[in-house]
């Protein structure tokens, strides 16, 4: 398996399969897996493994090594003048690894040292500063790289400087004015959602950031692709609940009146699903426990769907 090329489909499938098995392996077997696939020489493998499912005795070591290797690969990519397709494949592996280890905010604080985190943010800043949108949108592979870059930046959004946050939003704004793959637009929605957790401190960039957020949110909410649209609406809803900058929400609604109705419809749909999900088991429990069977009979007589609903619930 080590001889498989990095971009091999078999290579990817094997790593995905083992990744799903890792949580069920004993600590000893996980250690053997680490010996069989050392992080330094099998970096591709660990980009797929959920490191937080590893046993505590090897978790910290793997996370630390992945951070070191991932940051080093990002730095190598950043310093390279002429970039090939393989360079972008390597970049994607590095980004996926770093996304993997930064998915848990608690774990980031627990396992990532301050120097490692600082190095990661520095190299991210360098990458964003070097991005020319027209070049990165020229191929599917590079657009995927941009998507991963956004997802990693989203995981660390509360640690970004205002200057870098403004740069990222400027890139997003430029992307949304051109055609791009759905994966990239989904990543944009994810990043914008995470921005709701950030309080933009007073600075030269503050007003520009707050103006850029509606510029980015409105187009992605209006996306014609259903998955992107729904993800963006969910992202905006979460952003609106969490952000201390309510003016951004107001500005989005003022720029596009459809935004408010879209969000209301989304919330109504979500609430309806939650209500139905909660009522079915409660109705079943009531029917089982009540000494007043007449009430159950009346419910069924008034609405024949009630009986079928309970039957369907029981069959599940």
* 111 & 205 share domain: no
On whether residue 310 sits in a domain, the answer given is no
Per DSSP, the residues of 169-212 read: HHHHHHHTTS---HHHHHHHHHHHHHGGG----SSTTHHHHHHH
Q: Are residues 87 and 124 in the same domain?
A: yes
DSSP class of 132: -
Task: Give the residue from 222, 255, 288 where a domain finishes.
Answer: 255
- Of 13-27, 110-124, 135-149, give the lowest mean pLDDT range: 13-27
Q: Does 2 lie in the same domain as 122?
A: yes
pTM for this model (two decimals): 0.78
In a domain, 266, yes or no: no
The answer to whether residues 65 and 162 belong to one domain is: no
Report the C-alpha gap between 244 and 210 in whole angstroms: 11
Same domain, 79 and 198: no
Cβ pair 127, 149 in contact under 8 A:
yes
Q: Indicate whether 284 belongs to any domain.
A: no
Contacts of residue 137, defined as CB under 8 A and 6 or more positions apart, other chains included, come to: 143, 146, 175, 178, 179, 180
Same domain, 124 and 193: no
Q: Note whether residue 161 is domain-resident.
A: yes
Q: Both 125 and 157 in a single domain?
A: no
Tokens of 153: 């930046």
Q: Is 122 within the bounds of a domain?
A: yes
pLDDT at 100: 87
pLDDT of 151 strictly over 80: yes
Residue 67: inside a domain: yes
Helix, strand, coil shares of the chain as percentages rounded to 5?
A: 80, 0, 20
Considering its fold, how many domains does the chain have in total?
Answer: 2
* Residue at 271 is within a domain: no
Choosing from 222, 238, 255, the residue where a domain stops is 255
Residue 50 belongs to what domain range? 1-130
CA of residue 115 relative to chain centroid, distance: 24
**Span 186-210, average pLDDT:** 93
169 and 93 co-located in one domain: no
Residues 196/202/207/209 CA torsion (nearest 10 deg): -40
The reported pLDDT for the residue numbered 279 is: 45
Residue 21 lies in a domain: yes
Identify whether residues 158 and 118 lie together within a single domain: no
Structural domain ending residue among the three candidates 75, 99, 130: 130
**pLDDT tens-place string over residues 253-283:** 887 777 666 766 666 665 544 434 444 555 5
Same-domain status, 179 and 126 = no
Residues 111 and 158 grouped into a single domain: no
Judge if 64 and 109 occupy the same domain. Answer: yes
pLDDT at residue 40 is higher than 70: yes
């Amino acid at each position: 398996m080590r001889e498989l090329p990095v971009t091999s489909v078999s290579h990817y499938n094997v790593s995905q399969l083992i990744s799903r098995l890792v949580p069920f392996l004993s600590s000893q077997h996980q250690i053997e897996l680490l010996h069989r696939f050392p992080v330094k020489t099998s970096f591709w493998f660990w980009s797929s493994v959920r490191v937080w499912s590893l046993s505590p005795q090897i978790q910290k070591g793997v996370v630390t090594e992945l951070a070191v290797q991932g940051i080093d690969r990002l730095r190598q990519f950043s310093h390279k003048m002429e970039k090939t397709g393989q360079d972008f494949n390597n970049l994607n592996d590095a980004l996926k690894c770093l996304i993997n280890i930064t998915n848990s905010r608690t774990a980031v604080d627990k396992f990532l040292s301050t120097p490692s985190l600082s190095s990661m943010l520095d190299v991210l800043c360098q990458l964003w500063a070097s991005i020319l949108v027209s070049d990165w949108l020229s191929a599917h592979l590079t657009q995927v790289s941009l998507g991963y870059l956004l997802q990693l930046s989203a995981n660390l959004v509360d640690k970004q400087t205002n200057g870098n946050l403004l740069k990222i939003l400027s890139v997003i704004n430029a992307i949304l004015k051109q055609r791009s793959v759905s994966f990239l637009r989904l990543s944009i929605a994810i990043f914008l959602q995470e921005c709701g957790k950030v309080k933009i401190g007073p600075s030269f960039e503050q007003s520009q950031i707050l103006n850029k957020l509606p510029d980015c949110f409105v187009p992605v909410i209006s996306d014609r692709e259903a998955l992107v649209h729904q993800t963006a609406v969910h992202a905006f809803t979460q952003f609106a609940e969490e952000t201390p900058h309510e003016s951004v929400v107001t500005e989005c609604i003022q720029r596009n009146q459809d935004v408010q109705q879209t969000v209301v419809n989304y919330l109504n749909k979500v609430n309806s699903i939650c209500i139905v999900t909660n009522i079915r088991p409660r109705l079943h429990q009531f029917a089982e426990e009540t000494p007043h069977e007449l009430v159950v009979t009346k419910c069924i007589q008034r609405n024949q769907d009630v009986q079928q609903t309970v039957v369907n619930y029981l069959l599940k």
